[in-house]
Structure 1
Amino acid sequence: MGEENIIYDDGQLKLEVIAPIAEKVQINGMEQYALRWFADGDVGKTKNGHSVVIMAHIGKLKILLGGDLNSHSADFIMSQYGGEDLGQLKIQLTKAKTDNEKNVLQQKIDQLIGTCRKTMGCDVAKSCHHGSHDITNELLKAFNPIATVISSGDEESFCHPRPETLGAIGKYSRGDRPLIFSTELSRSSPEYFTLKMLKIKTPAEKQRLVSTYGMIALRSDGLNTIIVQKLEKETSRFGKLVKWQIDKLIWNDKRGEIISKS
Structure 2
Amino acid sequence: METRFLGSKTKRFYFNNGVEDVSYVVIYGDELMVEPLEDNIAESYRTAIYRGREGKIASNTKLLPKRSLEFYFLDIGQGDASFTVTPDNIKILVDGGLKDRALGFLIWKFRLDQPDTSVTIDHLFLSHADKDHIDGLEPLLEHPKITVKNIYHNGIGLYADGHNTEIGTMENDRLRTIHDSVQDLENEHLKSDFSEWIDAVKGSGATYQRVDASNGYLPIGDASVQLEILGPTLESDNSFKWFGGKSHTINGHSLIFRIDYDHVRAFFSGDLNVEGSEHLLSIPGNTLKVNAHIFKAPHHGSHEFSQNLLNHVNPMVTVVSSGETPDHGHPRAVFLGGLGLAGRGKMPLIFSTELSALFVDAGDVEAQVYSDATVTTLGDLDFSDSLANTEARQRFKKVLPGIINVRTDGEKIFAFRRVQMGYQWESYELKYNDV
With normalisation by structure 1, the TM-score equals 0.70
1:177 to 321, 325, 347: 347
Partner of 2:289: helix, strand, or coil? helix
Residue in structure 2 matching 1:6, options 217, 233, 241:
217
Q: Cα deviations across residues 110-137 of structure 1 (Å, max 9, x unaligned)?
A: xxxxx54321101111100111110111
Question: What RMSD over aligned residues (CA atoms) do the two structures have, in Å?
Answer: 2.5
Return the alpha-carbon distance in structure 1 between the equivalents of residues 280 and 345 of structure 2.
Answer: 25
The whole-number CA distance in structure 2 between the counterparts of 1:181 and 1:56 is 19
| 1:181-233 CA-partner distances (Å, limit 9, x unpaired) | 111111112347632455776424665433x1200011111112211111147
- Structure 2 CA distance, aligned partners of 1:142 and 1:177? 18
Unaligned runs of 5+ in 2: 1-211, 379-391
Residues 209 and 54 from structure 1, CA distance in 2 versus in 1: closer, same or farther, beyond 3 angstroms? Answer: farther
Larger Rg over CA atoms: 2
1:223 pairs with one of 394, 408, 411: 411
Q: For 1:134 and 1:2, how far apart are their aligned partners in 2?
A: 23
Task: Give the secondary-structure state (helix, strand or coil) at the position aligned to 2:330.
Answer: coil
Cα distance change of structure 1 residues 233 and 209 upon mapping to structure 2, 3 Å threshold: closer
Q: How does 1:135-154 map to 2 (within 5 A)?
A: 135-153=305-323
1:15 alignment partner, one of 214, 227, 241: 227
Match of 2:250, SS? helix
Counterpart of 2:429? Answer: 248
Report what 1:70 is aligned to. Answer: 273
Q: Deviations over 1:146-166 (max 9, x none)?
A: 111111135232011111100
Cα 1:130–1:207 change in 2 (3 A) is farther
Q: Which residue of 2 aligns with 1:160?
A: 330
Selected match of 1:24 from 236, 260, 266 = 236
Structure 2 residue identity aligned to 1:64: F
> What code does the residue aligned with 1:24 have?
S
Q: 1:66 to 1:19 in 2, by over 3 A?
A: same
Contact 2:216 / 2:228 at 8 angstroms: preserved in 1? yes
Deviations 1:219-260 (A, max 9, x none): 1111122111111476xxxxxxx7011111224xxxxx3x28
Q: Distance in 1 between matches of 2:338 and 2:254?
A: 22
Identical amino acids, percent of aligned pairs: 29
Q: Equivalents in 1 of 2:291, 2:376: separation in Å?
A: 42
How far apart are residue 21 of structure 1 and its match? 0.6
Letter in 2 for 1:174: R
| CA deviation after TM superposition for structure 1 residue 177, in Å | 3.1
Residue in structure 1 matched with residue 242 of structure 2 by the alignment = 37
- Decide which structure has greater helix share: 1
- Alignment match, 1:110: none
Q: Distance in 1 between matches of 2:377 and 2:351?
A: 28
* Secondary structure, aligned partner of 1:80: coil
Closer, same or farther in 2 for the Cα pair 1:198/1:121, shift >3 Å? closer
Q: Residue 134 of structure 1 aligns to a residue in which SS? A: coil
The structure, 1 or 2, with the larger RCO (C-alpha pairs under 8 Å, 6+ apart) is: 2
Amino acid at match of 2:398: L
Which residue is equivalent to 1:87? none
Separation (CA, whole Å) in 2 of partners of 1:13 and 1:222: 10
What amino acid is aligned across from residue 229 of structure 1 in structure 2? R
Structure 1 match to 2:167: none
Matched, 1:194 2:365: yes
Matches of 2:296 and 2:376, distance apart in 1 = 30
Whether contact under 8 Å (1:188, 1:232) holds in the other structure is no
Which one-letter code corresponds to 1:209 in the other structure? Answer: K
Give how far 1:2 is off. 8.3
Q: How does 1:107-122 map to 2 (within 5 A)?
A: 116-122=286-292
Structure 1: which 5+ runs fail to align?
A: 26-32, 82-114, 235-241, 252-256
1:80 to 283, 293, 296: 283
**Residues 62-107 of structure 1, C-alpha deviation per residue, up to 9 Å, x if partnerless?**
00011100001111111123xxxxxxxxxxxxxxxxxxxxxxxxxx
By how many angstroms is 1:44 displaced? 1.0
Q: C-alpha distance in 2, partners of 1:188/1:217? A: 16
Task: Tell me the CA shift for residue 24 of structure 1.
Answer: 1.0
Scaled by the length of structure 2, the TM-score of the pair is 0.43
CA offsets, 1:27-64, max 9 Å, x none? xxxxxx1211112xx01110111111110001111000
Distance 1:198 1:217, change over 3 A: closer
CA contact under 8 A between 2:412 and 2:429: conserved in structure 1?
yes
- What SS does structure 1 have at the residue aligned with 2:227? strand
